[in-house]
Every structure is written in structure tokens, then in C-alpha cells.
């Protein structure tokens, strides 16, 4: 909402210190989004006095004029306008001025026109962006001060505030409403103009009663609470007088013609949208007008004033004649009944329409107008007859003509003022303040409420005005009083509850452990988009897996982000590619985030929290004293093993994943992690074809684990084991086994064969050599630690246990002992 | 030469050797050669039996004297030499301490989650629990239960991403559905009131979505931290005090807060909170567009309708709620010039935090 301070000053004292005024507006709930000094766009345009006017020697329509612009020397200007003459006042754009134009600005230069030097331009209204009139030069009144900056002349120093009106305050979408608000802000009187404006109508009334010519029908009162019509006859459509054009332009509208400008002026002043129809386009064969407010038909076609053809639905409401729709109720008029230059009779609509229908219509058509914005927030039906009278009177005054007596007024649902109570004691208790009752009463009255003491001691009875549909409950009044009292005046305290305790959910705790562990493992946390390309799953080669249906957005920003991610990996792989293309080769990224999937018949999708990571390059650059090995499968696995330790996961095993089970991974370098038999996730090297699909350079090690599974498997604490007091015996033992014998198998056999005395099995070397070890074979060297908890083991005991272990390994795996 | 004379010359030659020993190793060799099992002085001690009786006392004294003198000299020399050797060893061990250390890489926390941790910590300390909520919500939890019925104009304040509803239901407004990506963490308020017992002191950090094209100051996905308190006797002053405390804890004790009345459907009275600009300390600069204040969060007293919808008696309980934009807070604290950096995964950016 744009508020001209000069306009507002007609009704209330506006503080001279605009900055302080804006601060106060901001603090009391009316956000100031912009402060515009009117006319500042017209720099370099001044009021000029045409001294001489001679015909151009070399043109039959141009003139050469000299213009006094307040400088020492008059300017010589060549002018092509037909109405240029000596001794008139005109706006002159001097050299260097930039005039508003469709393509951004038109700069005035010194030029020669058919051989005659021209140092500026005499301007029409349209050239200055001040209206549509382009018939000739804008001739200013004789008293316009020569040389005055045109912006100053035009706006007389007006300041226009661009105010953010919150959706609960339809009353503030008007100058009068804002005047009332300012009056309450400063506890200062406000002069309301409506009664006087409406009373002017008597002076313009003539002819037959309007009811003779207009018949009204409302088919669904829920959509239209009140509809009124008046007829103004004998109008002359033309440019608006300056004062009117200035006001509507200050309010942010274009000046169109005097009729439309009057409707806009009244709307900006009172917040009531109006619509002017060309009466003759509505007339039926009998010469009268039948106006029907009805639901549109599904599929009904209608062309709005902006020239756009629209297809309506039955949820939308139209104003129609028996023949066809003539306006889209509450949103925009129709092209067919538009007021045009030849229009002589106006049917003036002043009505209210359903907030919900208007809101949906506006959203469904993508059409927001000054009217729809007001109707969807709520327009007061009570003062409609007066506002209609004020509008009709002004139209007759400005456009000529007379107003037919009376009003056609269908008023099926009348808004009643709401009665509320206000308990000052409870109010102060809830605010934590001590605001005097006198202040409460004064503010509520200034806002338009009626306040009187209730029968109950210490309670106020409050009747809220119909123009404040947001004042429905006691709490709504609290807000009004506290914001105008000043929130800054309320002392800060902390809640005094003895009962509160701060707790983190187990999922939060697990998430913290995962974060800490991954960070300790050198990983860097990142975030990627939750929406991805539908083709990402295929690019991951995971389209054959059962990931559920993707969750589609109905209104994505673009096709590349039209579904919710089913895995975090594509985002991470894009980041790998981004880094590699920005000369960062060592990449360690992880993300904890949500993945989504759905199924047919489901309303809400499934959400799972996953933790995924990618490693490419090495942990860091080689240092002066440290060599960094490039990442491979075991770096990823090591990080997962760190998580296993920190979350105390029980019975963990890593199982090889086949190409079918994990098509996104390179076969042979892919494993599933299970805890207690439950799959937790996977770790592996990304398939080179997947890496290529994301324009990233392989090898990339990755892991992807389910956070809920991790949380469920995790144990809050690890078990205590006695610290050994007796010495251990270490035996190093190498076995030569076939390639397909896994470490897991060896470990299982040794653990079961070693019995109670075997404390630890640690692999310390894997060695392959076709000659020394044999083709298709590998040597696996283990360090075995034997210990008894209660005594020092003898050599014989260890030898015996170890011999048994070796024998078992040999028989179970076909291993040979390597000397 | 008498035995005593022999001893005298042995003593002086050994003392000379000791004096000229270069290191503790040489010293040890001297000790072994003189005092060891077959040492020269030891031999005299061992041969005392063959010394004539009348000379025994004299020779004995001379041997002991020689031994004491040698031992004393050895000790002194050893102390001296070991000190010198240690000093030499230390000197040769010296390194250029400005060379980089041998460290494991420590990973980094994402700036936004770091901010969430920091803020959560403040509220945990104030006795709040941390809760989570779903990112895909039904219209009910995102709007309706928050006092914004289907045609409420406040809905157009937030451009919502709608998700295809596979249950077969359809919405009154074209292109919308009852299922959506939450536009605010406020839905967590409703879940908390439905699921938890009173009193409620919770914060709910999480990701939210709005249909804004990514540019330096907008992202279609960002983070909020929702706070909710429902208890007996909660006042607007408590809301002010809590947020003022939190802002100072997060941004520094010298920062001030300002409450501007505002409108949100689910709180009343509602306010927006500004924090004083750190760049100019409230004087007005480019960062704060000359106002001295930076907008940080929205808040208010929980609307009684919202309490009632969750079955809480608004005459007995009152509460406050707030929602803070984490990216905004992070930008205020770290001056990140382009929000899109938060989602690129650029290692050079991430490793800074």
C-alpha cells in the first residue's frame, strides 16, 4: 500500500520527521518498505515559460521556441507539438534529463532538427510518465513558477511511503484506515471525510430512480454479501484533473481517464473497490439492465480488462447480464463492458465478495488486482451505500453529468459488530506489563471500538468495528493495545517454570556421535539439494533397485529439480565433480539428510534419514614428513568401522555385494554392513560408469548408511572388560590360502579353534607372489595373542593351543603353513 | 722405586688420563683399566698380602688414597662429560619448529549445522528439549492447525512447493495439493503440542522449503529453528527475555534486540525481532541498509486457537513461539556473500569452518 503523506495529512497530523514516523510505523506493525520522494525520477525537468514561438524555417509543423527556464539565457528548443504557443508555461526537459520510457529511460541531448539547434524538449504528460495524454504539450497553469524543478512543482514535496500491510489489516489498505492508525499511534484526532463526501451527492441527483433501470439478482449470498448499483448519466470521459491524477498516481496506479480514476481514488481513500461499467453495453432489449451475480460455469470463457482470455470454473463468481458475464467478481472487469472515450452512462458497482472465493479465483488465475487484494482480506459491507454515494458525487463533479436518484442495493448478509470483553488484569498478566486501563480504553476507541465498563468488576465490554474483521477475540484486542503501547516498553524476563528439563532425543544423540566420528575421521560435512533430476536414479544405475516411487513436485522450479531425492549420493557426486573442476582433488564430504519415497495410494511419502559420504583423491597433500596414500575401498570401510566402534554396534559383519545387489558400485569393491543381521547400509567404490555419468573422476569411495538402523543397533555404552594382569604370549603365524578364502573365514576358524586362551587375532600382512606363494594364492600373516586371565601361561600350554589352531585352519580352509 | 712411589706415579698418570678423556665412553674405559677386575689399581689391592708387614700400613694408605682420588676424579669428569654430551645431543636434535606438524586431518562441520548446534546448546541450557519433524507435511500441520485456513491470505506470503498426492484427493486450488514441503518449522509446534505432556519447552531445528529461485540472498531450501513454550504464566516479557538472552549468547553480549509488531496467523501478539548491526553497532551502515538493525526472527504469543486445536486450555496455559532463519543468522555472523555457497559442497568453503 502506497501512502501519500500529503493525502494522509488531509485527515490527520503527520509528523514532520519522516524518519521517526517510519520507525514508529515499523515498531507498531506497519512495515515501511520504501520511502519515495515523489517526482525524483524527473530530475532535469523544470517549469519553463515560452517567450517566443516562431515557425521552423524548414518544416511545416515544427516550431522554434525560446523558453525561460530560470537560467540567465533562455533555451532554444525545436518543438513539434500542435499546441505550442508563446507565453504559456510548459514542462521542459533540459539537456541531460532522463525521461521515463518503456525501455528504461530516454536521455535528452543537444541536437539539430532540420538544421536548427534544440537544447531540450517540451514535454507531454505521457513523456513524463504522468498520464496517457499525448495530444500535445502539457500546458501548465499560468502561476506555475518558472524554473522550479518539475518534481517539486508536481508533488509539492510529497513523500510516498510503501507500506507492508499484513493480511489481518484490510482496513489499512486505505488512506482513511491509515489515518485512523496514525491517530491511534500518536493519540491524535482524525477527521473522517465519508459523511461529507456522501452528502455531496444531493447536488448532482437528477432523472428517474435508478431502480427503474436496474434489476439485481444474487444467486449465492455466500459469495456476495452486498451488491449495489448507481447510474451516472451524461458523463464526458476524458483526462482527469491534475489533483485527481496526482492522487491516484501517488497511490501507485496509472491515471487512465476521469471515470476510472474516480473509482480508483475512492478505493484508495476508503479501501472499497468499485467498478464502473459502460451502462449501454449492459442494456438488454427492453433498455433496462439485469445484473446477475452468479457462479461461473465450468469452462466458461471470459476476457478480462487486461485483454487476457480466461477459462473459468464454477468456484469463480461473475457479474453477468442474462446474455454473458461482464466482470469477474472481486478481481477484474471485463473487456466488453469497459468504459471508453465515447461512454456516456456509467453503472457503478459497489459490492463485497467472499474472501475465500476471491482468494482462490485470484490464485487459480494467477491474477492479483488491487480489488482482489482487498476482497480476499475482507471489505466492510456496512458503509457501502455511503461510499457509493461519495463515488457517484465525485464522478459527476469530475466527469460532468448527473446521478440517478437512489441506489439498487441487495444486502442478503449484513455484518454485525462483534462484542468482546477485555480483562485488563489478565492482559497485563499475559504481557508481563502494567499498562493503565485509561490507555487501553483510549487506544481501543481510537481504533474504532466502542468501550464501556462491563457488569463484571474490572472488565471492559468492547464492540469491535465491522471494518476490523481481525478483531474477533479478546486476544486480538491485546495485540492492538500492546503494539501501540510499545513492545519495547515491556521488561524482558525469563520463564519461571520449575518443571522444565532440557533433553535431547536418542536420535539427536546418535546423530551427534555420527557427526563427531565422521569429523574425527577427516570428513567434511556438506549439504546438497533435496530436489533432484528424475534421471538421477538411472544415472546412479539404481533404477533396477526397489527404492519405491519418487516423490514428485507439482510445481518444481525447474525440470532439473522436480523430484525429491531417493538417495543422497547424486548430490555428493555433483559436489565431487564441482570440486574436481575447481582444482580440488582431495575430497572428503558427507551429508546427513532426508531421502524420500512414496507408493501409489499413499498421501505422505516415507522419509528416511541417511548418512552418506564420498572420498576422492587422498586425505591431504603429501607433507614434508608424511605420505598420503590415495583413497581406496578400505578408507571408506575404516570410517564405517569407526562408526561401529563409537556407536558400539554389536555383531557387525561386512558382506560382499554383487553387481546386481549394488549396481552403483564397482563389483568386487562393494560391501554391505550388517549389525546383528540387520542391514545398516553399504560401503564401496562408486562404479566408474556412475562417476562418469556425474562428470566426476573415479575412483570415488562412498558409503551410505541408514540413520534409524544405526540408532536402533547402537548401544548407549560399551561393556567393561577386565584389564589383563598376567602377561600374554604373541605368536606370528602366516598361512597360504586360495584367493577365495576370506579374512572373515580365517578369523572365524581361528576364533573358534583358539578357545578361551586366544585373546586377539590381528591380520598384519597379505602377500601375493606367483613364485613364492603360488598363483591364485595369497599369504595371510596373523598376530595371535594368547593369554589366560588368571595365570601366566606356560610355553607348553601355548604350543598346544596354537598347534590345535593351525590344524583347524588347515583342515577348514586348505591353508598351508608358511615357514 | 718403592711401591708407594709406583702408586704415586700411577695415580698421577691416571688422573691425567681422566682429565684428557673426551667422552664418557673413554672415561668408562679408564675406570675399567684402573678399577676393574684386572685393573692396575685393583692389582695393588689384590697384592696387599705380599707387601712386607712393616710397609703394609703405608702402602695401604697410599692405595686407598690413590683409589679415592681416582674415583673422585672419575665422578667429577663423568658429571661434566655427560652434561656436555647431553647438551650436544639436544643441540643436534633441534628442529625447525615452524615446520608443519604431523596431524590427522580433522573434518569440519557445515556452517549451518554448526550454527544450529550453537543455538541448540543455548536452548538446552535454558531447559528446552530438541525435537525433529517431517519435511513433507500435510496442509493441516503446515497451515491449518497454525490458524491459516485454506483461503487465508497469509498463505500467499509463502510460496509453497506442493507434492503429488497419491491418495487420490485433490485440492481446491489448481496446482496445489494437501501434501507439501513444509514452508516453516512451525508444524513441529503442533506435533509437540499433540505428542508431549505439559509444560512444553522445545526447539525444533530443520530444513524448510520455499519456491524461491536460488540467488545470492535466496535458497529454495533453508533452515529454521522453531521454538515453543507452553506453560502456566508465560508472558510476553518472557518471550522478550528469552530471545534477548539467546541473541546475546549467539551474537555477542553487546548486541541489542528490537521487537517490531507484526502478523503471523499462529501467534498473537506477534513480532519480528531485529538484532543490532554488528558492523556499525547500530549506527547505520550498508550492511543494515542504514537502519542499524538486522531482521532475525519472527515470534509471538501462541494464538489461543492454536492451543485449543491441540486440546490445551488457553485460559490456563499460555505460551510463546519463535522461528529463526538459520541461514540469515549465519550470514549475520559470518558475512557469507552468496547463500548458494552453502549447497555447492566446495571444499575450499567448507574447510573454513
Distance from C-alpha of B189 to C-alpha of B208, rounded to nearest angstrom: 14
- Residue B171 pLDDT exceeds 80: no
* pLDDT grade for A522, boundaries at 50, 70 and 90: very high
At B59 the pLDDT is: 85
**pTM metric for this prediction:** 0.82
Residues of B in contact with A516 (CB under 8 A): none
Whose cell is 492454536? That residue is: B306
Nearest to A589 among B136, B161, B345 (CB): B345
Residues in chain A: 819
Q: Give CA–CA dist A168/B15, Å, rounded.
A: 107
Mean pLDDT, chain A, whole residue set: 92
Helix axes B3-20, B24-35, angle to 10 degrees: 170
pLDDT at residue A556 greater than cutoff 60: yes
Paired with A450 in beta bridges are: A463
- Please provide the CATH number assigned to the domain covering A2-38+159-192: 3.30.56.10
What is the DSSP annotation of A10-40?
TTBPPPS-HHHHHHHHHHHT-EEEEEEETTG
pLDDT digits (tens, 9 = 90+) for A364-388: 898 999 999 999 999 999 999 999 9
The pairing of beta strand A317-320 with beta strand A777-786: unpaired
Cα–Cα nearest to A396, from A174, A206, A193: A206
Average pLDDT over residues B261-273: 93
Say if CB A267 and CB A387 are below 8 A apart. no
Please tell us whether the domain made up of A40-155 is placed in CATH 2.40.50.140. Answer: yes
**Is the four-CA dihedral B64, B69, B73, B75 of positive or negative sign?**
positive
Cβ contacts of B154 on chain A, cutoff 8 Å: 167
Decide which of B308 and B177 is more confident: B308
pLDDT at A496: 86
pLDDT of A721-758, one tens digit each?
A: 889 999 999 999 999 999 999 999 999 999 999 989 99
End-to-end CA distance of chain A: 92
Cell output for A400: 460532468
| A584 close to A576: Cβ distance less than 8 angstroms | no
- Chain B residues inside the 8 Å CB shell of A582: 346, 348
Q: How confident is the model at residue A13 (pLDDT cuts 50, 70, 90)?
A: very high
Segment A146-169 shows an average pLDDT of: 84
pLDDT for the residue A310: 94
Q: What is the mean pLDDT of residues A301-313?
A: 93
| Strand arrangement of the beta sheet that strand A450-453 belongs to | A418-422, A460-464, A450-453
Worst-scoring range by mean pLDDT, A232-241, A265-274, B180-189?
B180-189
| Rounded average pLDDT over A145-162 | 81
CATH number of A195-410: 3.50.40.10
- A-chain CB neighbours of B221 within 8 Å are 529-531
Average pLDDT over residues A386-410: 95
Instruction: Tell me how many degrees the CA angle B232-B235-B239 measures, rounded to the nearest 5.
Output: 115
Gap between the Cα atoms of B28 and B78, Å rounded: 9
Does residue A268 contact residue A247 with C-beta atoms inside 8 Å?
yes
DSSP state of A757: G
CB distance A29–B262 less than 8 Å? Answer: yes
Partner residue opposite A602 with nearest CB, options B126, B161, B166: B166
Residues of B in contact with A507 (CB under 8 A): 132
- Percentage of residues in chain A with pLDDT exceeding 90? 77
Residue closest to A17 by CA, chosen among A148, A186, A184, A171: A186
Grid cell, residue A764, equals 598384519
The gap between the terminal CA atoms of chain B, to the nearest Å, is 87
pLDDT attached to residue B270: 96
Q: Which fold has domain A506-713?
A: BirA Bifunctional Protein; domain 2 (3.30.930)
Mean pLDDT of B325-333: 86
Strands A665-675 and A678-686: antiparallel
Statement: residue A131 has pLDDT above 70: no
Mean pLDDT along residues A534-544: 92
The residue with greater pLDDT, A119 or A613, is A613
- DSSP 8-state assignment for residue A304: B
Q: From the CA of B88, how many Å to the nearest CA of chain A? A: 24
Q: What is the structure's pLDDT at A763?
A: 96
Question: Is the confidence at residue A138, as pLDDT, over 90?
Answer: no
What integer pLDDT is reported at residue B175 of this predicted model? 67
* DSSP designation for B215: B
pLDDT above 90 covers a percentage of chain B that reads: 50
Closest residue to B261, CB basis, from A483, A518, A526: A483
User: What pLDDT shows up at residue A203?
Assistant: 92
Cβ <8 Å between B345 and A555: no
Whether A418-486 and A2-38+159-192 are alike in CATH topology: the answer is yes
Prior bond of B199 cis (ω within 30°): yes
List the domain boundaries for chain A: 2-38+159-192, 40-155, 195-410, 418-486, 506-713, 729-818
A318-362 tens-digit pLDDT: 999 999 999 999 999 999 999 999 999 999 999 999 999 999 899
Amino acid A154: pLDDT = 73
**A238 burial level (CB within 10 Å; 0-12, 13-18, 19+):** middle
User: Which residues on neighbouring strands pair with residue A653, listed in sequence order?
Assistant: A674
Query: Helices in chain B by DSSP H: which ranges?
Result: 3-20, 24-35, 40-46, 53-93, 111-125, 139-142, 187-195, 236-251, 304-309, 326-334, 347-350
What topology is assigned to A729-818 in CATH? Alpha-Beta Plaits (3.30.70)
Query: What are the residues facing A612 on neighbouring strands?
Result: A591, A704
Q: Which stretch of A94-103, A354-363, A542-551, B162-171 has the lowest confidence by average pLDDT?
A: A94-103
Q: What architecture does CATH give domain A418-486?
A: 2-Layer Sandwich (3.30)
| Full strand arrangement of the beta sheet holding A606-616 | A524-525, A587-597, A606-616, A700-706, A678-686, A665-675, A652-656
Q: Which residue among B209, B234, B343 places its CB closest to the CB of A495?
A: B234
CA A77, CA A98: separation in Å to the nearest integer? 17
The residues near B242 (Cβ < 8 Å, ≥ 6 apart) are: A494, A495, B126, B227, B229, B320
pLDDT tens for each residue of A208-260: 999 999 999 999 999 999 999 999 999 999 999 989 998 999 999 999 999 99
A278-292, B141-155, B313-327: the lowest-pLDDT one: B141-155
Q: Is B136 in Cβ contact with A551 (below 8 Å)?
A: yes
And the C-alpha cell for B151?
A: 483461503
**Helix%, strand%, coil% for chain A, nearest 5:** 30, 30, 40
Give the cell for residue B244.
534477548
Q: Which chain B residue's Cα is nearest to A375?
A: B153
Amino acid at each position: 500500500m502506497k501512502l501519500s503523506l500529503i493525502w494522509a495529512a488531509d485527515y490527520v497530523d503527520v509528523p514532520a520527521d519522516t524518519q521517526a514516523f517510519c520507525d514508529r510505523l515499523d515498531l507498531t506493525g506497519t512495515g515501511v518498505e520504501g520511502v519515495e520522494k515523489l517526482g525524483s525520477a524527473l530530475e532535469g525537468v523544470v517549469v519553463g515559460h515560452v517567450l517566443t514561438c516562431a515557425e521552423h524555417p524548414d518544416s511545416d509543423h515544427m516550431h522554434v521556441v525560446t523558453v525561460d527556464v530560470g537560467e540567465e539565457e533562455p533555451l532554444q528548443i525545436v518543438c513539434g507539438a500542435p499546441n505550442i504557443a508563446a507565453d504559456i508555461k510548459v514542462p521542459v526537459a533540459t539537456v541531460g534529463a532522463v525521461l521515463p520510457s518503456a525501455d528504461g529511460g530516454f536521455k535528452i541531448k543537444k541536437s539539430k532538427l532540420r538544421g536548427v539547434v534544440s537544447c531540450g524538449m517540451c514535454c507531454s504528460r505521457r513523456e513524463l510518465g504522468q498520464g496517457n495524454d499525448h495530444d500535445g504539450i502539457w500546458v501548465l497553469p499560468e502561476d506555475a513558477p518558472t524554473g522550479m524543478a518539475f518534481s517539486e512543482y508536481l508533488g509539492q514535496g510529497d513523500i510516498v511511503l510503501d507500506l507492508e500491510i499484513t493480511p489481518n489489516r484490510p482496513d489499512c489498505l486505505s488512506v482513511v484506515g491509515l489515518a485512523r492508525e496514525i491517530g491511534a499511534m500518536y493519540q491524535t484526532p482524525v477527521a473522517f471525510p465519508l459523511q461529507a463526501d456522501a452528502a455531496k451527492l444531493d447536488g448532482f441527483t437528477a432523472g428517474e430512480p435508478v431502480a427503474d433501470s436496474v434489476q439485481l439478482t444474487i444467486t449465492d449470498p455466500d459469495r456476495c454479501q452486498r451488491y449495489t448499483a448507481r447510474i451516472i448519466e451524461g458523463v464526458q470521459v476524458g483526462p482527469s484533473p491534475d489533483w485527481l491524477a496526482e492522487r491516484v498516481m501517488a497511490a501507485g496506479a496509472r491515471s487512465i481517464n476521469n471515470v476510472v480514476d474516480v473509482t480508483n481514488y475512492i478505493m484508495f481513500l476508503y479501501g472499497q473497490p468499485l467498478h464502473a461499467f459502460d451502462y449501454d453495453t449492459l442494456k438488454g432489449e427492453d433498455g433496462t439492465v439485469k445484473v446477475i451475480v452468479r457462479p461461473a460455469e465450468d469452462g466458461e470463457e471470459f476476457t478480462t480488462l487486461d485483454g487476457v482470455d480466461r477459462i473459468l470454473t464454477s468456484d469463480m463468481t461473475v457479474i453477468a447480464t442474462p446474455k454473458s458475464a461482464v466482470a469477474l467478481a472481486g478481481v477484474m472487469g471485463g473487456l466488453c463492458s469497459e468504459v471508453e472515450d465515447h461512454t456516456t452512462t456509467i453503472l457503478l458497482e459497489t459490492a463485497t465478495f467472499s474472501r475465500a472465493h476471491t482468494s482462490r479465483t485470484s490464485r487459480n488465475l494467477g491474477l492479483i488486482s488491487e480489488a482482489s487484494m482487498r476482497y480476499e482480506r475482507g471489505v466492510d459491507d456496512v458503509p457501502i451505500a455511503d461510499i457509493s454515494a461519495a463515488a457517484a458525487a465525485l464522478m459527476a463533479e469530475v466527469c460532468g453529468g448527473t446521478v440517478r436518484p437512489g441506489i439498487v442495493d441487495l444486502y442478503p448478509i449484513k455484518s454485525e459488530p462483534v462484542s468482546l470483553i477485555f480483562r485488563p488484569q489478565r492482559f497485563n498478566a499475559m504481557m508481563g506489563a502494567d499498562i493503565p486501563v485509561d490507555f487501553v480504553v483510549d487506544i481501543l476507541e481510537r481504533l474504532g471500538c466502542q468501550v464501556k465498563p462491563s457488569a463484571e468488576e474490572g472488565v471492559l465490554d468492547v464492540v469491535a468495528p465491522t471494518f476490523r474483521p481481525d478483531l474477533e477475540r479478546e486476544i486480538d484486542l491485546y495485540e492492538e493495545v500492546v503494539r501501540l503501547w510499545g513492545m519495547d516498553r515491556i521488561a524482558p524476563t525469563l520463564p519461571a517454570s520449575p518443571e522444565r528439563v532440557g533433553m535431547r532425543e536418542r536420535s539427536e544423540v546418535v546423530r551427534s556421535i555420527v557427526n563427531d566420528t565422521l569429523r574425527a575421521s577427516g570428513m567434511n560435512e556438506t549439504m546438497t539439494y533435496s530436489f533432484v533430476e528424475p534421471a538421477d536414479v538411472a544415472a546412479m544405475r539404481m533404477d533396477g533397485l526397489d527404492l519405491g516411487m519418487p516423490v514428485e513436485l507439482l510445481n518444481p522450479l525447474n525440470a532439473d529439480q522436480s523430484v525429491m531425492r531417493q538417495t543422497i549420493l547424486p548430490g555428493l557426486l555433483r559436489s565431487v565433480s564441482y570440486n574436481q573442476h575447481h582444482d580440488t582433488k582431495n575430497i572428503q564430504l558427507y551429508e546427513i539428510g532426508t531421502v524420500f519415497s512414496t507408493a501409489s495410494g499413499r498421501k505422505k511419502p516415507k522419509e528416511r534419514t541417511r548418512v552418506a559420504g564420498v572420498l576422492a583423491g587422498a586425505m591431504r597433500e603429501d607433507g614434508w614428513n608424511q605420505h598420503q596414500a590415495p583413497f581406496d575401498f578400505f578408507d571408506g570401510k575404516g570410517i564405517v568401522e569407526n562408526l561401529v566402534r563409537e556407536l558400539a554396534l554389536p555383531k557387525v559383519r561386512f558382506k560382499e555385494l554383487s553387481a546386481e545387489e549394488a549396481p552403483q558400485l564397482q563389483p568386487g569393491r562393494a560391501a554391505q554392513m550388517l549389525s546383528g543381521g540387520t542391514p545398516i547400509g553399504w560401503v564401496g567404490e562408486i562404479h566408474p560408469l556412475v562417476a562418469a555419468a556425474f562428470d566426476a573422476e573415479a575412483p570415488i569411495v562412498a558409503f551410505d548408511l541408514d540413520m534409524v538402523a544405526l540408532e536402533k543397533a547402537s548401544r548407549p555404552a560399551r561393556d567393561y572388560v577386565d584389564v589383563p594382569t598376567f602377561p600374554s604370549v604373541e605368536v606370528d603365524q602366516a598361512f597360504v590360502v586360495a584367493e577365495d578364502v576370506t579374512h572373515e573365514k580365517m578369523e572365524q576358524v581361528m576364533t573358534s579353534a583358539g578357545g578361551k586362551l586366544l585373546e586377539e587375532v590381528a591380520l598384519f600382512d597379505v602377500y601375493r607372489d606367483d613364485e613364492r606363494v603360488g598363483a591364485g594364492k595369497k599369504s595371510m600373516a596373523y598376530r595371535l595373542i594368547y593369554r589366560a586371565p588368571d595365570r601366566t601361561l606356560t610355553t607348553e600350554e601355548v604350543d598346544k593351543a596354537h598347534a590345535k589352531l593351525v590344524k583347524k585352519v588347515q583342515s577348514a580352509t586348505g591353508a598351508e603353513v608358511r615357514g | 722405586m718403592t711401591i708407594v712411589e709406583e702408586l704415586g706415579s700411577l695415580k698421577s698418570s691416571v688422573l691425567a688420563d681422566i682429565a684428557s678423556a673426551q667422552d664418557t665412553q673413554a672415561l668408562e674405559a679408564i675406570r675399567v683399566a684402573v678399577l676393574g677386575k684386572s685393573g692396575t689399581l685393583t692389582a695393588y689391592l689384590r697384592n696387599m698380602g705380599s707387601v712386607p708387614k712393616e710397609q703394609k700400613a703405608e702402602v695401604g694408605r697410599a692405595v686407598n688414597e690413590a683409589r679415592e682420588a681416582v674415583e673422585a676424579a672419575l665422578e667429577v669428569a663423568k658429571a661434566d662429560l655427560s652434561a656436555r654430551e647431553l647438551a650436544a645431543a639436544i643441540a643436534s636434535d633441534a628442529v625447525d619448529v615452524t615446520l608443519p606438524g604431523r596431524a590427522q586431518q580433522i573434518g569440519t562441520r557445515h556452517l549451518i549445522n554448526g550454527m544450529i548446534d550453537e543455538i541448540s546448546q543455548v536452548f538446552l541450557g535454558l531447559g528446552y528439549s530438541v525435537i525433529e519433524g517431517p519435511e513433507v507435511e500435510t496442509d493441516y500441520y503446515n497451515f491449518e492447525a497454525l490458524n491459516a485456513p485454506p483461503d487465508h491470505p497469509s498463505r500467499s506470503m509463502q510460496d509453497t512447493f506442493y507434492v503429488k498426492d497419491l491418495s487420490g484427493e485433490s485440492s481446491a486450488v489448481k496446482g496445489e495439493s494437501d501434501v507439501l514441503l513444509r514452508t516453516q518449522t512451525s508444524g513441529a509446534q503442533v506435533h509437540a503440542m499433540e505428542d508431549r505432556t505439559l509444560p512444553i519447552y522445545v526447539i525444533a531445528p530443520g530444513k524448510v522449503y520455499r519456491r524461491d529461485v536460488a540467488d545470492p540472498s535466496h535458497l529454495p531450501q533453508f533452515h529454521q529453528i522453531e521454538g515453543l513454550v507452553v506453560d502456566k504464566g508465560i508472558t510476553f516479557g518472557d518471550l522478550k527475555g528469552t530471545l534477548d538472552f539467546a541473541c546475546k549468547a549467539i551474537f555477542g553480549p553487546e548486541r541489542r534486540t528490537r521487537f517490531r509488531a507484526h502478523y503471523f496467523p499462529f501467534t498473537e501478539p506477534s513480532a519480528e525481532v531485529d538484532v543490532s548491526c554488528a558492523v556499525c553497532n547500530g549506527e547505520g551502515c550498508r550492511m543494515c541498509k542504514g537502519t542499524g538493525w538486522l531482521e532475525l526472527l519472527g515470534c509471538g504469543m501462541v494464538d489461543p486457537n492454536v492451543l485449543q486445536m491441540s486440546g490445551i486450555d488457553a485460559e490456563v496455559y499460555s505460551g510463546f513461539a519463535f522461528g529463526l532463519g538459520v541461514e540469515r543468522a549465519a550470514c549475520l555472523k559470518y558475512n557469507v556473500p552468496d547463500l548458494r555457497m552453502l549447497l555447492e559442497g566446495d571444499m575450499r568453503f567448507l574447510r573454513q569452518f
